[in-house]
Amino acid sequence: MKGIIENLIEELTRLPGIGRRTAQRLAYFILSMPEEEARAIAGAIVDVKEKARFCRECFNITDEELCSICRDGSRERDRLCVVEEPSNIAVIERTNFFRGLYHVLLGSLSPIDGITPERLKLKELKERVEKSGVKEVIIATNPNTRGEMTARYIKELLSPCGVTVTRIAYGLPMGGDIEYADEVTARPWRVGGSSCSGSTLCLRPVFSQGTEHQSIEKSVLFRRCVSLLTVPQRTEESEIM
């Protein structure tokens, strides 16, 4: 005897962060929408399930052989940003700061959960770097244990390739408050790199390039980086990479 509205409410509560009340509000909103708009939503859901596949090059989600970023001729093809999930690409794209290509790992290393390097798109990353003239790889995995482990693994993996390997910057989030920052985040200019031989792996001020901001900061960063590397004892956190 379940009504169609009840049914829609139940279906919507399957979605994350949508409780009964929100689902109810959405259901009645959908009911009041023009039919073609409601159909467009339903169609978009079905499309995603039917047509979604991984981009042959970067493993982003697409409905074609190559994703729109890989197809885009205006992107810098010698810079790769490595992310864990396809959804991370949108976050970096929103910054409008990076004009290179991406490489999605489809996860992060976690040997305890059985996620070994073979389960991720790491072999494909190495092949891509070797074959397609990539000069710089920016690792944008998450700043947590798994993401750090993955970043470190990539650094080792790419060390024979002679490309620059950098890591997305750590620091205080914009709009944040230094008062509430943890002791790792608030460390001024945390720059790591257990060894800087082979491919260097150091903090870069996000993805900025050639702005006045960076022209000042880069030299400071460099000096800091060098000075840090001469300090013999480092805690685990300062070594993050």
**What is the number of residues in the chain?**
241
Measured between alpha carbons, how far is 68 from 127 in angstroms, rounded to an integer? 21
Measured between alpha carbons, how far is 130 from 182 in angstroms, rounded to an integer? 39
167 three-class SS = strand
Return the number of the residue (96 or 230) whose C-beta is nearest a second copy.
96
Measured between alpha carbons, how far is 85 from 83 in angstroms, rounded to an integer? 6
Return the number of the residue (90 or 226) whose C-beta is nearest a second copy.
90
Q: How far is the CB of 193 from a second copy (least distance, A)?
A: 32
Return the number of the residue (51 or 223) whose C-beta is nearest a second copy.
51
Measured between alpha carbons, how far is 120 from 108 in angstroms, rounded to an integer? 7
Q: How far is the CB of 101 from a second copy (least distance, A)?
A: 15
Binding site for a second copy (CB under 8 A): 1-5, 7-12, 14-18, 22, 24-31, 33, 35, 37-49, 51-52, 61-63, 67-68, 71-72, 85-87, 90
Are the C-beta atoms of 81 and 93 separated by less than 8 Å? Answer: no
Measured between alpha carbons, how far is 66 from 54 in angstroms, rounded to an integer? 8
Q: How far is the CB of 31 from a second copy (least distance, A)?
A: 5
Return the number of the residue (40 or 226) whose C-beta is nearest a second copy.
40
Which residues are bridge partners to 79 per DSSP? 136
Tokens representing 20 are: 């009964």
> Comparing C-alpha atoms, which of 142, 163, 151, 160 is closest to residue 193?
151
Q: How far is the CB of 115 from a second copy (least distance, A)?
A: 16
Q: How far is the CB of 110 from a second copy (least distance, A)?
A: 18
Return the number of the residue (71 or 223) whose C-beta is nearest a second copy.
71
Q: How far is the CB of 11 from a second copy (least distance, A)?
A: 4
Return the number of the residue (37 or 78) whose C-beta is nearest a second copy.
37
